Structure 1
Amino acid sequence: MSSTLKSVLCTAFLSVLSVNAASVKHIGSDITILTHNDLYGNSSTRGDAAIVLNTPKTHSQAQKACEELGETLWTPKSSRKNSKAENVEFLQYLGYEDRDARRNLYWIGGGSRDRCQALKLDGSIVETRCNEKREALCTQSAPLAYDFKPRDTSKRWQTTVDTGRQSITGFRDKHTFVFEGIRYAEQPKRFTYSKLYNGRGNVDALAYGPGCSQALCDSPDCSEDCLFLNVWTPYLPKKVDRKTKLRPVMFFIHGGAFTGGTGAENGGDMVSRGDVVVVSINYRLGTVGFLALDDGKTNGNFGIADQIVALDWVREHIKDFGGDPDRITIFGQSAGAASVRAFLGSPQAIGKYSAAISQSNLGDVWSNYFTIEEEVEVVGNAILEATGCASARSKVDCLRKVDLSELVNMPAVASFIVVDGKYVVKDKLPLDGSGKVARVPMMMGSLRDDAVAPIPMATTTDPVQALNDLGLPGPAIIGSGLFPTPEGPDEILNVFNVTARVATNGVFRCIDQATAYAAIENRLLPKVYLFEFMRSYQPVDWAPHDGLCSPPPTETHPYGDPSQEYYKCHAGELYYVWGLLIRAGHPPRDDYDVPFSQYIVDAWTSFARTHDPNPRPDFLAARGFSNTTAHLERSGLWTPATSNSLNLRELDWPSRQVDFKEQEQCEALGVGLDHLLGGDCPS
């Protein structure tokens, strides 16, 4: 019988025997899923994967541990002529992590009664005594979990982790271990703050928990009992001690205008390619999450507090999932980016993370915080009137009795961060030196045309009127001469180009540049890396303005030609950042969409590992990430902004460093570089 057929039959037999979830404790070894992951999914030509048993065992012990996982010892394809294994390049990363591993032998399948086969990282296959203790390579036959297909979370793929007083059972797919729907807080009484949950017993974490209550989302998809998080990890330790090689953690806060969205992202590709642990979270939204009343106790920011409680859970438990609680990078998009900004100045969050990434924070919209009284005036009174609670003796008790669906679907909705005195203590991030700011390295930026998606299409051919319609001072802006109307065949679209440029500058680009400048001049953030996406792939579930945020299709590019002009809109970076283009079922539009995503994932995860978005060349070589290596050789390094070099990274294929953009226009809009500076610059 051939060794390949023997392996197939053995794996099939083991799948029948393995009826209980594998436990890291019972396996008796740290375990790592290792694969190349070029983000092409099942169409990849480099799809080999293995489970590494990191704790040395005899050959028979290693085989038994593989069986606990429903697998067997891996038998790589080999050439009989020179006893070299084929397609083992992805294993070179073991030598990057541990230089001694280059000389190590790893148990694989095959051999005789007394002499068992082992593999060197150079692909050499040797026979050695079976009773020697070595690390081992198991097969990894779990299927890739696609977002648009049913996922296999059956017992065969399940894995259990003990943390605190709980045993949490998740599953693995081809690339990662996945734990979804882990409770981090009990459902709090409406309009009170959540508290860290430390449960006990056996818990299934095989599916996302319900999202937090929001408009047009009913039970069971959304609920007031929604404080769950999700963990993706490439590595599970048997036990944690000083020698345990914990991975950096990326803690994601979703967007959705503080009124919608969930943490049901898929972090698997980011995890397996970047060797990080990813956590995504739910938090309370809208009126349930952000209403404040001037009653001295309903102080708002319940959603922000939820996020911090989730971060506390991660700091307490993530080591059992292979993550390092001392190396947490918080990152978020849109409202999630606004949350990241709030964390930078929050006394309850400072010191709990080591780096931050902000993607498309909406400038003054969510960077200036209302007082509680202002929030009541802006939206609170309207909610009280609509619910009949305006004259109640206890307005908050009255609101607690309001039907949840009515509360989240009414036109008036609370969605503002306020100065509550505990979680948020200043009316803006104190970049002027008047308050405490987390001293962590940061990446921040947006897309070239970020405001196109949120603003309405122009309805006039007069740019002054179009700006007035947006509540902006049209005469002053157009009178500056800095925002000329382009000439094109569509006069409405010409005017929309003006409003989009003004809004993108005023809401996104200028505030990021001013933030970086103030942080640099007042020596608040150790390093600031700015970016602007010049390539985007608009999410299919949010495609405003009749496809203007997607490139036009051509005969050679039926899904759109990214080399043609199109708007790079809000949320258009998400598929790239998560590496999800193929896994989410979306076709590459050209030869560069997937390589570009490879580079973005590599940059984001490099920042989590080293606080530098430039992956180390030896890391890229060990992983076999040749596209990113070539991209960096062509584009040069991404450098931080400094007082001597106010520059940012235009993220494209290829990318490039450019000076801060539209500075005259930012000045004209009142959001110049000194907008957040305050006082005199330090000498």
Structure 2
Amino acid sequence: MTDLIVEVTEGKLEGKVCKTLNNVEYFAFRGIPYAKPPINDLRFAIPEPSEPWEGVRDATQNRNICAQLDRESETVTGDEDCLYLNIYTPKLPADASTAMPVMVFIHGGGFLSGNGTKDEDHTPDFIIERNVVFVGINYRLGILGFLALDRKEAPGNMGLRDQVQALKWIKKNVAKFNGDPDNVTIFGISAGAASVEYLMLSPMARGLFHKAIAQSGSTLNHWTCNSDVKSLAFKIPLLKGKKITDDENLYKYLKDLPLKDLLVTSLLALDTDPYKGGIHFGFVPTVEKPNGWEPFLDKPTYELLVKGEFMNVPFISGFCSREGLLTFTDGPAKIEKVIKDKMLCEHLPFTMTEENETELENRLKAIYLEGSEPVKEMDDFAIDLFTDIDFFGGIYVAASLIARKNPSVYFYEFAYDGGLNYLKKKLGIDRTGACHGDDTGYIIKTLFLSEGVSDQDKLMRERIVNMWTDFARTGDPTPKTDDIITTKWQPIAETGFNYLLIDEKLRMQEGSPLPNRAKLYQELYDKYCRT
């Protein structure tokens, strides 16, 4: 098929024939615009649908990723013209009788970095081989995606709105690539996982997907929401030696600021922003104050979860056993401080009275410093603390609340420490356990993880890919057990919590993971986040 043409709503696309690692043929269509370029007057605007083109558009090459800053070199990668997606399908031409499930990948990176379309970062080999259509999307990042000035020209949550626009495009066009528009699963890791949960909560995304997988991220994680993005934005002109006091002039100033100046100065502003927890990204999703526009989100996420105001679709959620290892690279000063001072309460992202802090400090020390877990390293307690504050606490509480209404919530703990553990290998973290994002390498192919893969690693990869794609196909991650999938994964039960432990062996576990810590965070969220 040298002349590989697919016609979508906006025009014709020419794709490319590719092969997986196992020499399985598939078809790639890259750099497809799903929205107008968000440039000039659209810099901070709500995304608008893409426009039609004439002739055949070349979809054999990747296009821009979304603009982001490399902190070390202070160089900008990507571009503001970045709202593109890639589609990979195992079969063409389209045939409605053989339509396949669709999996839409939402990348992580703290809402500041990452992409969904660079082949060297992630290719769909393993998912494609399971007869699933794979879609990777870009969305605006940092201040470009999440500036919130309480005005229609910059309402906030533009990056999440981009995701909605991409899902609308997919629903309209994926059948042309043999995808089933009525069987779409969204999945993501870290900020991508939080995005998945945000999409479940936003009325704007209703009907655009049918299943969801959130790996190591939740809307209840403190770093995924900022209630005062505007104050952070006002620091930017000050750092450039200019004083601005009103919203209108701030908007005009930021809209016209050269891209590199905007990105560099927004990160400098972030560095002056006080925060609790181990990690912080500043320009992230927010609760909007709509005035003449449809909000993506206008209520706190805990309130929505408690009230059951979310899309009730089959849902996988989970975490890695030592998420807090990430803090060694993203918040090392926090690790050093908590090890030195052993003052734990000050890192909790909740507003509390001094009396409550004193009582809670004693409880925290009993759990983290005097617990029954054997201590191997002097900083183990700090890793556990930031595992819970930054990730596990919010992830567990959100899944528990969703399971009150939804009988199809599957929870997991990923504890396997192998050759495909993504972030540990990428960041060179030489510690035992599964770090934040480590399960990524067992689902998405990445070039830097191509060597040193053991037979056990390959088995783990096959298990996870099978469970994820079976879930996308049927809503059940283990519709049958065999030599690969040795355990039936049960959803959270009405009678109590249960979860799948993913390690060298698959094991169903009764009760909550990390039970004392899980109970603590349920109480903290209920006390300090309930409106």
* Same fold? TM cut 0.5: yes
Cα distance change, pair 643–431 in 1 and its aligned pair in 2 (3 A): farther
- Report the AA paired with residue 323 of structure 1: G
Cα-to-partner distance string for 1:299-357 (whole Å, 9 max, x where unaligned): 11111111111111101111101111111111111111111111111111022110100
Pick from 283, 307, 312: which aligns with 1:439? 312
Cα distance change, pair 430–437 in 1 and its aligned pair in 2 (3 A): farther
Pick from 193, 218, 233: which aligns with 1:380? 233
1:132-151 aligned within 5 A:
none
- Which SS does the other structure have where 2:31 is aligned? strand
1:496-511 aligned within 5 A:
496-511=379-394
Pick from 640, 644, 648: which aligns with 2:495? 644
1:653-672 aligned within 5 A:
653-658=504-509, 659-669=511-521, 671=523
Question: Does 1:476 find its partner at 2:332?
Answer: no
Verify the 8 A CA contact 1:366 1:416 in the aligned structure 2.
no
1:213-252 aligned within 5 A:
213-216=67-70, 221-238=77-94, 243-252=96-105
Q: Which has the larger radius of gyration?
A: 1
Q: Distance in 2 between matches of 1:341 and 1:443?
A: 11
Cα distance change, pair 346–469 in 1 and its aligned pair in 2 (3 A): closer
Verify the 8 A CA contact 2:407 2:493 in the aligned structure 1.
no
Q: Distance in 2 between matches of 1:363 and 1:504?
A: 16
Q: Distance in 2 between matches of 1:639 and 1:390?
A: 56
Q: Distance in 2 between matches of 1:348 and 1:484?
A: 46
- Report the AA paired with residue 660 of structure 1: S
Cα offset, 1:261, TM superposition: 0.5
Question: Does 1:609 find its partner at 2:459?
Answer: no
- Report the AA paired with residue 601 of structure 1: V
Cα-to-partner distance string for 1:99-139 (whole Å, 9 max, x where unaligned): xxxxxxxxxxxxxxxxxxxxxxxxxxxxxxxxxxxxxxxxx
Q: Distance in 2 between matches of 1:650 and 1:672?
A: 25
Verify the 8 A CA contact 1:369 1:427 in the aligned structure 2.
no
- Report the AA paired with residue 456 of structure 1: P
Pick from 441, 446, 456: which aligns with 1:575? 441
Pick from 392, 416, 419: which aligns with 2:287? 419
Q: Distance in 1 between matches of 2:29 and 2:82?
A: 16
Gapped regions of structure 2 (runs ≥ 5) = 271-281, 350-356
Verify the 8 A CA contact 1:292 1:376 in the aligned structure 2.
yes
- Report the AA paired with residue 476 of structure 1: N
Cα offset, 1:429, TM superposition: 4.8
- Which SS does the other structure have where 2:148 is aligned? coil
1:236-275 aligned within 5 A:
236-238=92-94, 243-263=96-116, 264=118, 265-275=121-131
Pick from 3, 27, 36: which aligns with 1:177? 27
Verify the 8 A CA contact 2:157 2:296 in the aligned structure 1.
yes
Q: Distance in 2 between matches of 1:652 and 1:346?
A: 34
Which residue matches 1:400? Answer: 255
TM-score when normalising by structure 2: 0.82
Cα distance change, pair 171–368 in 1 and its aligned pair in 2 (3 A): closer
Which residue matches 1:282? Answer: 138
Cα distance change, pair 670–652 in 1 and its aligned pair in 2 (3 A): closer
- Report the AA paired with residue 466 of structure 2: D
Cα distance change, pair 673–300 in 1 and its aligned pair in 2 (3 A): closer
Cα offset, 1:259, TM superposition: 0.5
Higher deviation after alignment, 533-542 or 440-449 = 533-542
Verify the 8 A CA contact 1:631 1:654 in the aligned structure 2.
no
Question: Does 1:534 find its partner at 2:411?
Answer: no
Cα offset, 1:534, TM superposition: 0.9
Which residue matches 1:630? Answer: 483
Q: Distance in 1 between matches of 2:425 and 2:58?
A: 32
Cα distance change, pair 584–369 in 1 and its aligned pair in 2 (3 A): closer
Question: Does 1:465 find its partner at 2:342?
Answer: yes
Cα distance change, pair 162–639 in 1 and its aligned pair in 2 (3 A): same
- Report the AA paired with residue 417 of structure 1: P
Cα-to-partner distance string for 1:420-473 (whole Å, 9 max, x where unaligned): 241112111545553631010100011000121134274379565364785686
- Which SS does the other structure have where 2:32 is aligned? strand
Q: Distance in 1 between matches of 2:520 and 2:398?
A: 17
Q: Distance in 1 between matches of 2:338 and 2:313?
A: 46
Q: Distance in 2 between matches of 1:254 and 1:652?
A: 24
Q: Distance in 1 between matches of 2:477 and 2:385?
A: 29
Higher deviation after alignment, 473-482 or 388-397 = 473-482
Which residue matches 2:273? Answer: none
Q: Distance in 1 between matches of 2:298 and 2:170?
A: 24
Cα distance change, pair 674–218 in 1 and its aligned pair in 2 (3 A): closer
Cα offset, 1:364, TM superposition: 3.4
Which residue matches 2:277? Answer: none
Cα distance change, pair 432–604 in 1 and its aligned pair in 2 (3 A): closer
- Which SS does the other structure have where 1:417 is aligned? coil
Which residue matches 1:212? Answer: 66
Question: Does 1:451 find its partner at 2:293?
Answer: no
Cα offset, 1:487, TM superposition: 6.7
Q: Distance in 1 between matches of 2:505 and 2:424?
A: 28
Verify the 8 A CA contact 1:448 1:533 in the aligned structure 2.
yes
Q: Distance in 1 between matches of 2:425 and 2:218?
A: 18
Cα distance change, pair 465–433 in 1 and its aligned pair in 2 (3 A): closer
- Report the AA paired with residue 407 of structure 1: L
Cα distance change, pair 505–408 in 1 and its aligned pair in 2 (3 A): same
Cα offset, 1:610, TM superposition: 0.2
**Size of the alignment, in residue pairs?**
480
Cα offset, 1:512, TM superposition: 2.5
Cα offset, 1:573, TM superposition: 0.9
Q: Distance in 2 between matches of 1:567 and 1:428?
A: 30
Which residue matches 1:190? Answer: 43
Gapped regions of structure 1 (runs ≥ 5) = 1-68, 70-155, 550-565, 618-628
Structure with the higher helix share, 1 or 2: 2
Which residue matches 2:170? Answer: 314
- Which SS does the other structure have where 1:195 is aligned? coil
Q: Distance in 2 between matches of 1:531 and 1:576?
A: 15
- Which SS does the other structure have where 2:388 is aligned? helix
Verify the 8 A CA contact 2:148 2:230 in the aligned structure 1.
yes
Q: Distance in 2 between matches of 1:655 and 1:673?
A: 30
CA RMSD of aligned residues (A): 3.0
Q: Distance in 2 between matches of 1:270 and 1:429?
A: 35
Cα-to-partner distance string for 1:6-42 (whole Å, 9 max, x where unaligned): xxxxxxxxxxxxxxxxxxxxxxxxxxxxxxxxxxxxx
Identity %: 27
- Which SS does the other structure have where 2:459 is aligned? helix
Verify the 8 A CA contact 2:44 2:144 in the aligned structure 1.
yes
Question: Does 1:323 find its partner at 2:179?
Answer: yes
Which residue matches 1:593? Answer: 457
Verify the 8 A CA contact 1:234 1:275 in the aligned structure 2.
yes
Cα offset, 1:198, TM superposition: 3.8
Cα-to-partner distance string for 1:58-101 (whole Å, 9 max, x where unaligned): xxxxxxxxxxx3xxxxxxxxxxxxxxxxxxxxxxxxxxxxxxxx
Q: Distance in 1 between matches of 2:395 and 2:374?
A: 29
- Which SS does the other structure have where 2:518 is aligned? helix
Larger relative contact order, structure 1 or 2 (CA cutoff 8 Å, min sep 6): 2
Q: Distance in 2 between matches of 1:449 and 1:667?
A: 18
Which residue matches 1:89? Answer: none
Cα distance change, pair 403–362 in 1 and its aligned pair in 2 (3 A): same
Higher deviation after alignment, 291-300 or 169-178 = 291-300
